[in-house]
Amino acid sequence: MPRLENRKILVTGGASGIGRATCELFAREGAAVAVIDRDAARIGTARAIAADVSDPASVARAVRQAAQVLGGLDGLVNAAGVFINRGLMETTTDEWNTTIAVNLTGTFLCVQTAVPFLRQADRATVVNIASGVGLLPTGGGSTAYVASKGGVIAMTRTLAAELAPAIRVNAVCPGAVETPMTDGTLRDAAGAVIPAIVQRYALGRPAAPEEIAAAILFLTAHESSFVTGISLPVDGGRTYH
């Protein structure tokens, strides 16, 4: 039996990478899926809604439209995000503000706007895509990104308490994943994964987006019914390596 039969799920960032793999997997598992993405035109169906998750008016319109198109909302996956690879002294205030606005405020806005719809559902779920860099020592750098993901992890815990028992809220913390976000940073010119990256992972490789989608599926499906407030590392063993 499909694990998300008749479930109505909204995925932000569903036009690319982890969000896109999640939409494809969820559809195979029987869900009706709507997408919010600033590049929604790339998908081009009525269930793909162009919006900026960092803009409150845009989110309000898009979440309402998604709930209307799907006939309600049972679940939300927050996968929209941006990465900036700059340390403290190189980060401009604009770069800081944009990163926090998309990754942290965007997650806040989408959950806040979806909650009235999720409260009408049975067994509702939220899954936030944080990052291993929000959990672990990073070695420095990517200041705004790390701060945004640490914020998502802390917010996940407090939202799980605030929204229980009606809505379960969890996060997934991926290690390095091969998506457009990491194009040009994971592999060298010859196409080999950069050794310094491989060495961080017990499994010796970055993830495919489908491997992250599988964890998001677990936290969205009823099989995780007693799990809320966690931030699940899906990181090829980096945490314990």
Other C-beta atoms lying within 10 Å of the C-beta of residue 41: 10
Out of 9, 10, 15, 77, the only residue in the binding site for ligand NAD (CB under 6 A) is: 15
Any catalytic annotation for residue 201?
no
Exposure of 232 in the CB half-sphere (CA atoms within 13 A): 21
**Which residue, 73 or 80, is less far from ligand NAD as judged by CB?**
80
Question: Shortest gap between Cβ of 6 and ligand NAD (angstroms)?
Answer: 26
Please say whether the dihedral angle defined by the alpha carbons of residues 110, 114, 119 and 124, taken in this order, is positive or negative.
Answer: negative
Out of 82, 110, 111, 215, the residue judged to bind ligand NAD by CB under 6 A: 82
Q: How far is the CA of 10 from the CAs of 20, 69, 108, 126, 233, in angstroms?
A: 12, 11, 15, 10, 22
Contact between residue 138 and residue 148 where contact means Cβ atoms under 8 Å apart: no
- How far apart are alpha carbons 91 and 109 in whole angstroms? 24
Beta strands across the sheet bearing 32-37 = 48-50, 32-37, 8-12, 75-78, 124-129, 167-174, 231-234
Instruction: Candidates 35-43, 112-120, 187-195, 217-225: pick the segment binding ligand NAD (CB under 6 A).
Output: 35-43
Stretches 2-10, 78-86, 117-125, 158-166: which one binds ligand NAD (CB under 6 A)?
A: 78-86
If one asks whether residue 233 binds ligand NAD (CB under 6 A), the answer comes out as no
The residue from 96, 108, 117, 145 that is catalytic is: 145
Nearer to ligand NAD, 121 or 154 (CB): 154
Q: What gap in Å lies between CA 168 and CA 190, rounded to an integer?
A: 44
Among residues 137, 139, 161, the alpha carbon closest in space to that of 150 is found at 137
* Chosen residue from 29, 37, 74, 211 binding ligand NAD by CB under 6 A: 37
The binding track of 114-133 with respect to ligand NAD, each residue x by CB under 6 A or -, is ---------------x-x--
Which region among 64-72, 119-127, 177-185, 189-197 touches ligand NAD (by CB under 6 A)?
177-185
Minimum CB separation of residue 10 from ligand NAD in Å reads 12
**Residues involved in catalysis:** 145
Residues that bind ligand NAD (CB under 6 A): 13, 15-19, 37-39, 52-54, 79-83, 102, 106, 129, 131, 174, 176-177, 179-182
